[in-house]
Structure 1
């Protein structure tokens, strides 16, 4: 049976810090539910009810398009290596794009990356832990560096062009506001 908490406690925060991957879930009022894996150094616990995470350029941009329509987000971690725990944080989030005033200060929490697309500032309204007894063991071998190299190779102008070409709409056609011209 899962346990619910109003805030992250120290044990939760240590568990999150030990994980190499997390998953984000979001959905608009209609259309597809999105679940995306995230890795690397892309998440910071800023307090018992606040997490920020940085979204790097990728093939889709669903969360940025969902939140303006239905401001709800779930983050999930699974203990693949040691502790059999599944931890979820439920809440709402503010999306900050590279053009937003708040973006630079939040982005400074992470290593510089030309592919930084958004920062999500999540307010947690519930934490849930449950057993991960059915989650298999996996061994961590290291972070992939392909995305970082791809972004560096594209450069700022190439990333901007990619956003315009591939990241302005969700799968269901909702705007993601990644560029100033999204409607």
Structure 2
């Protein structure tokens, strides 16, 4: 059943590298705020060390993860085996938002394929890894990546994306200004 580790072990890394989908969970400090769980696809996740991970965050209908991480840094990333032996793996830690044009962005971006609509990198310092059985998780077959977001971002163009970010990604649904929103208002 469940086991706890202080860092990503080699067997965890092997499991993570096989996954095509992960989920990110965050919440604001306010009790009345929304707990957010976001599914993430594409080849956007990187293990930087046994205690640090990052993913390239692409444009979405909101920007809750960024707002929450900037406000309080709490983050959980979850991987689930939909193929092969059952397993759930969670990475608990503290996050940071890395914006384009910063030294940290320049340091990290070479590890990713720059996807149209990429808006930031979310990094997480991993403080705990927890594995659990996943016995009730059903099997699903991977059919491929959707190209909808890539096409949408290309069609929007640079100015269209900036306008969209200002309208939909600058402030969270709980009214928290995101790092992207702060940058756009400069």
TM-score (norm 1): 0.96
* Greater share of residues in helix: 2
Shift of 1:164: 0.7
Shift of 1:69: 1.6
Give, in whole Å, the separation in 1 of the partners of 2:64 and 2:71: 11
Given that residues 97 and 179 in structure 2 are in contact (C-alpha distance below 8 angstroms), is that contact kept between their aligned partners in structure 1? no
Given that residues 114 and 156 in structure 1 are in contact (C-alpha distance below 8 angstroms), is that contact kept between their aligned partners in structure 2? no
Give, in whole Å, the separation in 2 of the partners of 1:33 and 1:46: 27
Q: What is the aligned partner in structure 2 of residue 127 from structure 1?
A: 129
**Unpaired stretches in structure 2, ≥5 consecutive residues:** none
Shift of 1:182: 4.6
Given that residues 176 and 182 in structure 1 are in contact (C-alpha distance below 8 angstroms), is that contact kept between their aligned partners in structure 2? no
Q: What is the aligned partner in structure 2 of residue 12 from structure 1?
A: 12
Give, in whole Å, the separation in 1 of the partners of 2:8 and 2:179: 30
Q: What is the aligned partner in structure 2 of residue 85 from structure 1?
A: 87
Give, in whole Å, the separation in 1 of the partners of 2:105 and 2:158: 16
Q: In the TM superposition, what whole-angstrom CA distance separates every residue of 1:32-59 from its partner, at most 9, and x where no partner exists?
A: 1000000111100111111010110110
Q: In the TM superposition, what whole-angstrom CA distance separates every residue of 1:46-93 from its partner, at most 9, and x where no partner exists?
A: 111110101101101001111122111000000001120000000001
Q: What is the aligned partner in structure 2 of residue 114 from structure 1?
A: 116
**Unpaired stretches in structure 1, ≥5 consecutive residues:** none
TM-score (norm 2): 0.94
Q: What is the aligned partner in structure 2 of residue 22 from structure 1?
A: 22
Give, in whole Å, the separation in 2 of the partners of 1:147 and 1:40: 10
Q: Which runs of 4+ in 1 moved over 3 A?
A: none
Give, in whole Å, the separation in 2 of the partners of 1:141 and 1:114: 22
Give, in whole Å, the separation in 1 of the partners of 2:55 and 2:179: 18
Q: How does 1:1-183 map to 2 (within 5 A)?
A: 1-30=1-30, 31-179=33-181, 180-182=183-185
Q: Secondary structure at the match of 1:53?
A: strand
Which segment is superposed worse, 139-148 or 109-118? Answer: 109-118
Shift of 1:104: 3.0
